[in-house]
Amino acid sequence: MASVTLSLPAIPTSSLSLQSLGSLSKPKRELRPKPRPFPSHTLNKTSLRPLTSPHHGRLRVTSQLRHPIISPDDHWGLWTTLFATGAFGLWSEKTKIGGMVSAALVSTLVGLAASNVGIIPHEAGAYSIVLEFLLPLSIPLLLFRADLRYVARSTGTLLLAFLLGSVASMVGTLVAFLMVPMRSLGQDNWKIAAALMGSYIGGSVNYVAISEALGVSPSVMAAGVAADNVICALYFIVLFAFASKIPPEASTSTNDVSMKMESQIERKLPVLETATALATSFVICKASTHLTRLCGIQGGNLPVITALVVILATLLPTYFAYLAPSGETIALVLMQVFFTVLGASGSIWNVMITAPSIFVFALVQVTVHLALVLGLGKLFHFDLKLLLLASNANIGGPTTAGGMATAKGWHSLVVPGILAGIFGVSIATFLGIGFGIIVLKHL
C-alpha cells in the first residue's frame, strides 16, 4: 500500500453527522471545564497541525457525543486505548478476516467507530503528539534497510520491472484522475490521488507522508485507507491467478543473503539494538526538522526525514542493517497507533460518502497499472514471474512481495522482492508530492 501538515476540516453543518447533532445540545461554555492541552501541542478547531505550523490556537476538544467515556484529559486512558487498538489490529491479521483486510484498516475502523460512538474524543492533545512525534519517528525505523547501492546490485532485472511498474502507476493515476476526478472532495481530490499513487509505488508509509505533506483531511484519508485495502485484496487475488501456472523453483535452498536477512528478522530483539535504533531515529528526526525550518520548507518534515535516512542507510549500510530488525518492529507498532488516531479523527458519515468515489478511482488506477505492466513487459520480453512480483512490490510493498515469492516457491526472488519494495518506499513520497503539485493540481 502497495512521507507537513495534516488538515482536519470541521464537518459542514449541512452534513447529517452525529457531531452536528451533538453541537445543538452543548452545555454553556462556563459549565464545561476546558481541557488542558500538552504545552505547545495545540489544535485549531478546524485543523490538526504539527507544532511547526504558524496557525495553532488553543486546544478545543470535541467528540461525536457530548461527553466521551474517555475524556481528553484522561491521558493514561487515551494512550491505553490507542496502543491497545493498535495491538488488536496486529492481532487481527492472524484471523481469516483480519488477514484479508490488513491490520492498518482494522485499527483505522476501530478508531473511527470508537470516536463516533463516544468512547474516545474526536480531537485530543494525544493525537497531536502522535502526528508530530510518533509518526515521523517511525519513518527512519522503517527505512534502515534502504541501502540503494545494495538494492541495485541485488535486484537485477526485477528492479527494471519494478521501475516499469512505477511508471505504470503514474500513468494509471493520470488516466484515473481524468476519468474519475472525485470533484466532490474539493481540493482533496488531487491530493488523495497523489497519495494513492505514492502508495502504489511504495507503501502505506508513503500514503501517510504524502497526505500529511499536502494536507489531506482525516476523513478523506480514512476513506482512502478503506478503499485502498479493498482494492489491494482484490488485486492480490488477480495476481495470484496470473501466477497460478508458474511453477515453483526446483531448488528450495536460499542464498547467504536470504538466510542472513531471515535470521535477523526472526531473532529476539536485543535491548541495546532497540535503544540504539530509537536514538538514531530521534537524531535523524531532529536533524531533518531543523533543516526543514532552516530552509523554510513548508510541510517538508516527512520528505526530508525520508531523504536523510535513505542517504545515511546508503552511506553506512552495515550500521543501519544491524539496527533494522529492531527498528522495523518498533515502527510497525507506531504505525498502528497512527492509523488508530487517523480513524479517531474522522467522521463515519464523511467516510461513507467519500469512500465510493475513491474506490472507483483506485480501481481504474490499478487496472491501468496492471495492463501497462503486462503489456509493456511482454513487449520488452520480461519474464512474467518478474512482472507479477514487481507489480506486487508496487501495489503492496516489500512485505507482500516477499510473501508472494515465498508462497509461490520463488526462493531466489524473496530478498530481491523485499529490496525492490524498500526501494519503492524510498522514492514514492517524492514522486507522489511532485506529480501531485506539478500535474494533478492543474487538471
Q: Dump the DSSP string for 40-101.
A: T---BTTBB--TT-S---------SSSS-SS-TT-HHHHHHHHHHHHHHHHHHTTSHHHHHH
Pick the more confident residue, 226 or 86: 86
Q: Which pLDDT value is given to residue 103? A: 84
Question: For residue 24, is pLDDT > 70?
Answer: no
- CB-facing half-sphere around the CA of 119: CA atoms within 13 A: 15
Least confident of 47-61, 215-229, 290-304: 47-61
Torsion angles phi and psi, residue 370, rounded to 5: -65, -40
Sorted by sequence, the CB contacts under 8 Å of residue 286 that are 6+ apart come out as none
Residue 378 amino acid letter: K
- pLDDT, tens digit, 9 for 90 and up, residues 311-357: 999 999 999 999 999 998 999 899 899 889 888 887 777 777 888 89
Rounded Cα distance between 21 and 44, Å, is 21
- pLDDT, tens digit, 9 for 90 and up, residues 95-130: 887 776 678 888 888 998 898 899 999 889 999 999
Tell me the mean pLDDT in the region 296-308.
Answer: 83
Q: Which pLDDT value is given to residue 66? A: 63
- What is the model's pTM? 0.72
- pLDDT, tens digit, 9 for 90 and up, residues 138-166: 989 988 988 888 888 888 899 999 999 99
The CA-atom distances, in angstroms, between 85 and each of 71, 74, 78, 81 are: 17, 17, 11, 6
Return the C-alpha cell found at 165.
511498474
| Angle (CA) 39 104 212, round 5° | 50
Sorted by sequence, the CB contacts under 8 Å of residue 184 that are 6+ apart come out as 353, 354, 357
Pick the more confident residue, 169 or 104: 169
- pLDDT, tens digit, 9 for 90 and up, residues 209-259: 999 899 998 889 988 988 888 888 889 889 988 998 898 887 544 444 444
Q: How many residues does the chain have?
A: 443
Q: Which pLDDT value is given to residue 46? A: 33
Rounded Cα distance between 242 and 238, Å, is 6
Return the C-alpha cell found at 109.
475502523
Q: Dump the DSSP string for 269-327.
A: --HHHHHHHHHHHHHHHHHHHHHHHHHT-TT-HHHHHHHHHHHHHHHSHHHHHHHHHHH
Rounded Cα distance between 291 and 86, Å, is 31
